[in-house]
Amino acid sequence: MPPGIQCAKGWRILEVQGPLDFAQTGILASLASPLADAGVSIFAISTYDTDYVLVEEQHLDSAVRALTAAGHTVER
C-alpha cells in the first residue's frame, strides 16, 4: 500500500468456485454460519460471478476446519 493509506493487513481470501447462478440462494450463509459458530469473523465480497470470504490470517486454519466440517471442500 502507498504510504499514508489506512488499511488492515493480514487477511486471507477464500474464493467460492463459480460462476454462481443468481437463482442459487444461501451460498454465503452456508459459509458464514459455520465460521460464526467457530468464532471466525469474516469480510464478505460478492461479485457478478462468485463470492469471496476474507478471514484474518491468524484464523485461517480454524476457518478451513469449520468449513470442512460443514461439508465444504477447501483447496489451498
In-domain check, residue 4: no
Is residue 74 within 8 A of residue 68, CB to CB? The reply is: yes
Q: Which range marks the domain in which residue 25 is found?
A: 11-69
What confidence tens digit (pLDDT) does each residue in 33-45 have? 999 999 999 999 9
In-domain check, residue 50: yes
What confidence tens digit (pLDDT) does each residue in 3-27 have? 899 988 899 999 998 877 777 778 8
Q: pTM of the prediction?
A: 0.86
In-domain check, residue 6: no
Is residue 51 within 8 A of residue 45, CB to CB? The reply is: yes
Average pLDDT, the chain: 92
Is residue 67 within 8 A of residue 76, CB to CB? The reply is: no
Q: How many domains does the chain have?
A: 1
Is residue 40 within 8 A of residue 30, CB to CB? The reply is: no
CATH code: domain of residue 15: 3.30.2130.10
pLDDT of residue 19: 79
Total Cβ atoms within 10 A of residue 34: 19
Higher pLDDT, 49 or 57: 57
In-domain check, residue 75: no
In-domain check, residue 45: yes
In-domain check, residue 74: no
Torsion of CA 8, 41, 54, 47, to 10 degrees: -110
pLDDT of residue 47: 87
